[in-house]
Structures are given as structure tokens and as C-alpha cells.
Amino acid sequence: MGIKKHIPNSITCLNVFSGCVAVYLAFRGEYSGVLIAILLAAVFDFMDGLAARVLKAYSPMGKELDSLADVISFGLAPGALVFSLLTNAGMGEYLPFVGFVIPVFSALRLAKFNVDERQSTSFIGLPTPANAIFWAGMAYSFSTFLASQPWLLIGGALVFSYLLLAELPMFSLKFKNLRWADNQSQFLFLLGCIAIMIVTGIGSFAFIIVWYVLLSLVLWLISYWKVSNPKITN
């Protein structure tokens, strides 16, 4: 296989590097840079899996490295971001550490994902990249508002940490093909994203993640209702 086997892991290392940059920028309060770094990490997180599939370069080391990278880029980075926001809001010496609940729950989420066979084609709980993008988007678009509402920030950190481990089915963004019947969730999500971007512009990232969570919740409730009322649905 030669050099091909090292390509996916090299891309994962770029994910780690981007995450480290995001952490550094978060502590400096440079929130636009954090957003860019986390988005780059998300791109590398997608590309390493794609490269592994295309090159057939799967390895146990690659799987473990991917999870370790995600703890930094999508766990520690948003945790540092919330810590920075709470510090700037004047929440004293200790309360900003609430932000580090996010990396703790992110690590638990990633460990659960690695051993949960139910999550091969979809997710149970909020994926860590989505959580990180939400916080990066919030800091980029609403840092001034959040500084004036620190308790809302603390509540949000706790709620989204819970969502990471919640038994809430969330659909994958991967398309099986281009047919509506096989990808209704994905198409609905994309249509909603387009509408959100038209309305909010560059500040759309946090709203897109909220849309993803709400759509997943609605689809789960519809599915649960159909299972509970088979005579009506048939």
C-alpha cells in the first residue's frame, strides 16, 4: 500500500492541528478565527474518512486517532470558547470552568460512538462536530449578547452537553443516492439550510445546527408516532 496508508492519518493530524489553533484563539478571544479553525477541522474530519474509503486504507490506529483528534477539535476547542466567553462576561474565577463540561461530555460521546453498533448509518445524540460548530457560530455572531447573558450561556453549555449523550436519533448527512425517497431527511435539511443562509448570511452556522437538532427531533417524533399507531399509519 506504501504511502497511501499514511494519507488518511496525515489528514487527521491536520484536524488535530486545526483544533489546537482553535483552542489558542479561543483563549485569546479571537472568535472569528475560532470559527475558521473549527470549520477547517470539520473539513479534515470528513476528508480523512473519505480518503480511507477511497484508498481502502482503514486501520485500527486511524480509528483511534480520529477520536483523539475530535476530542481536541470538537471537545476542548468549544469548551475553551465557552470558558473565554464566561471569563469575558465577568463570571469570576470559577464559573467559567463550566465550559469544560463540554470536552468531558464530548469525550464520553466519542467513546460511546466507538462501541455503539446502532450508530453505523446514523447517530444517537448530537455529533461532536455539530456541537463545536454551534458554539463557534454563537461566539462569532453573538459574543456581545452572550457577554450580557452569561447564565444563558451556562444553561446552553449544559443543555448541549446533555444532547451529546441523549438517546435522540439524529440522521446522517450522507446521501445514499440522489432520489428524494431515500434521502428525505437530507434534502429537507439542505432546503432549510438554504433558507437560513438567505436570512442570516454569514451568521448562519449556529442556526443551522439548531435546525439540524429540531429536524431530527421532529423526524424521531413522527417515527415514534407511526410505531405507536400502526393501525392508523397502515
Region(s) of the chain under CATH 1.20.120.1760: 2-170
- CATH class belonging to 2-170: mainly alpha
Distance CA 11, CA 133 (A): 19
Which burial class, exposed, middle or buried, applies to 68 when counting CB atoms under 10 A from its CB (0-12, 13-18, 19+)?
Answer: middle
Identify whether the C-beta of residue 157 lies closer than 8 Å to the C-beta of residue 101.
yes
Q: pTM above the 0.75 mark? A: yes
Q: What is the pLDDT of residue 233?
A: 54
> Which amino acid is it at 76?
L
H or E stretch at 169: strand 169-170
Q: Which long-range contacts (CB under 8 A, 24 or more apart) does 185-194 make?
A: 185/215, 185/219, 188/215, 189/215
Distance CA 37, CA 17 (A): 9
Among residues 133, 134, 126, which one has the least CA distance to residue 110? 126
> pLDDT 10s digit of each residue in the chain, 234 long?
567 778 888 999 999 999 999 999 999 999 999 999 999 999 999 998 888 888 877 777 888 899 999 999 999 999 999 999 999 988 888 999 999 999 999 999 999 988 877 776 778 999 999 999 999 999 999 988 988 889 999 999 999 999 999 989 988 887 766 777 778 888 999 999 999 999 988 778 999 999 999 999 998 888 777 777 766 655
Q: What is the pLDDT of residue 105?
A: 97
